[in-house]
Amino acid sequence: MANVIRRQTPAAKLWRGVLYAVLVIAALFYVLPLVVMLMTSIKPLSEISAGTLLSLPQNPTLAPWTKAWGEACTGMRCEGVGGYFWNSFAIVIPAVLISTAVGALNGYALTKWRFKGFELVFALMLFGCFIPFQVVLLPMAQTLGWLGLSSSRAGLILVHVVFGIAFTTLFFRNFYVGIPNELVSAAKLDGAGFFRIFWRILLPVSAPIIVVSVIWQFTHIWNDFLFGVAFSAHDTQPVTVALNNLVNTSTGVREYNVDMAAAMIAALPTLVVYVLAGKYFVRGLTAGSVKG
């Protein structure tokens, strides 16, 4: 930083140099897997078998991408991961919206309309954040069966919403705790009710925490594999499950370039979301702590 006062001695400069070198090496170390994936995904198969992991592609091609999208075999079918990509969106979007909306209402009720036992309710919801997915697989399967939602997209959405509410409630509760109760008192005196106060007073100032909740939920639900593989039928599988099937389906030669392209496709939405809104994510997470 230019606006930091420090001594400009040779030793200090050397120390700074070392510091930056370590940071650059660490950054490269983290970005390397992505670079290797990207390079492998645009190499023809011949180059992969001939060259090394880090050699640059000589004849870049998009063929592995198109194959991964529309032709690669995932188990018995050979339609690529494209269809499952849209499946994932069909699951993720409603699940993110519903869990964020419910979390916002929960957080609002837990902070601004305190009822007897609200602390216990909040503690129990918090507990939900620490339940491992594996523990609930069997009871959840049973519940979905009772509800008649087994292997359906709605069932998978329900599972993600139920699991997500613990986190979204925590986010919104911590955000709304920092918003003065007097705002709600003033609105009550003005004659507004529960939903009106939420909609007109709280929601318009909630943008930072909505961004946090959406990014968090989006990445988690998009990247979920376990629930996807356990609770979906063949035609409702999310892209993560399809990717696994694609990689595990062997038809003679292992097509690393297609595998990598499919993996890139599966990872792309979360990357895009993070690049576009990551700034707001960090800002939103720290908003409550700095500025009450």
Partner 1 sequence: MAALEIHNVRKEFGSERVLKDVSISIDSGEFLILVGPSGCGKSTLMNAIAGLEPVTSGNIYIDGEDVTWRTPAERDIAMVFQSYALYPSMTVRQNISFGLEMRKVPKAEREAAVERVADLLQISHLLERKPAQLSGGQRQRVAMGRALAREPKVYLFDEPLSNLDAKLRVDMRTEIKKLHQRLGTTIVYVTHDQVEAMTLADCIAVMRDGHILQLGSPDEVYNNPVDMFVAGFMGSPSMNFIRATLEADGDGYALRIATPDEADLLLPWPAARHTAELVEQLDKPVILGLRPEHFSEEDVRLSEQAEGTLLEAKVSVVEPTGADILLRLPLGEQEITARVGPKCEVSPGERLALRVDMSRAVLFDAETEQRLA
205 binds partner 1 (CB under 8 A): yes
Q: Give the range of 18-26, 38-46, 141-149, 187-195 binding partner 1 by CB under 8 A.
A: 187-195
Per CB under 8 A, 132 contacts partner 1: no
> Could you say whether residue 186 binds partner 1 (CB under 8 A)?
yes
Tokens of 167: 């986190």
Q: What is the DSSP string of 125-193?
A: HHHHTT--HHHHHHHHHHHHHHHT-TTSHHHHHHHHHHHHHHHHHHHHHHHHHTS-HHHHHHHHHHT--
Is 190 a residue that touches partner 1 (CB under 8 A)? yes
Any contact of residue 192 with partner 1 (CB under 8 A)?
yes
By three-state DSSP, how is residue 101 classified?
A: helix
Regarding 182 and contact with partner 1 (CB under 8 A), the answer is yes
Using CB under 8 A, pick the residue from 196, 226, 272, 279 that binds partner 1.
196
Span between the terminal Cα atoms of the chain, in Å: 27
Point out which span in 125-133, 161-169, 182-190, 273-281 binds partner 1 (CB under 8 A).
182-190
The β-bridge partners of 77 are 74
When the beta carbons of 107 and 155 are compared against partner 1, the nearer one is 107
Q: Residues 6 or more apart from 45 whose CB is under 8 A from it?
A: 253, 255, 256, 257
Identified binder of partner 1 from the candidate list 46, 55, 58, 185, rule CB under 8 A: 185
Closest CB 110 distance from partner 1, rounded Å? 18
In whole angstroms, the minimum distance from the beta carbon of 209 to partner 1 comes to 14
Our CA dihedral for 152, 126, 185, 201, rounded to 10 degrees, sits at -40
Binding positions for partner 1, rule: CB under 8 A: 180, 182-183, 185-193, 196, 200-201, 204-205
